[in-house]
């Protein structure tokens, strides 16, 4: 089982060392049963916590109850969906 502190250190390292500034990272939170998977934006403007108490208020994926999606502060979802385009 991975401790919450270990998970947070791994997330911080991935966010710092990200090859692409707007990719996503999936982390498994084994501290709860059943395990939760947090999909977190790497390299975001504000650091995320791989837990439900993250500042972005993660939401549960409707058809995948073990998966929780975090919302980026940099707005990358709008670019990924085509709602916004690079200028």
**Per-residue DSSP letter, 32:** S
Report CA torsion sign: 18, 48, 40, 74: negative
Residue 59 — pLDDT band, cuts 50, 70, 90? Answer: very high
Q: Which residues, 6 or more positions from 85, have their beta carbon under 8 angstroms from its beta carbon? A: 79
User: Tens digits of per-residue pLDDT, 17-49?
Assistant: 554 556 778 878 767 767 888 999 988 899 998
Domain ranges of the chain: 4-81
Q: Is 50 exceeded by the pLDDT of residue 2?
A: no
56 or 19: which carries more pLDDT confidence? 56
């Amino acid at each position: 089982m991975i401790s919450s502190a270990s998970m947070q250190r791994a997330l911080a390292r991935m966010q710092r060392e990200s090859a692409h500034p707007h990719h996503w990272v999936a982390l498994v939170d084994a501290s709860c049963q059943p395990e939760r998977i947090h999909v977190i934006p790497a390299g975001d403007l504000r650091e995320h916590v791989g837990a439900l108490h993250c500042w972005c208020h993660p939401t549960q994926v409707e058809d995948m109850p073990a998966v929780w999606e975090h919302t980026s502060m940099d707005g990358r979802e709008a670019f990924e969906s085509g709602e916004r385009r690079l200028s």
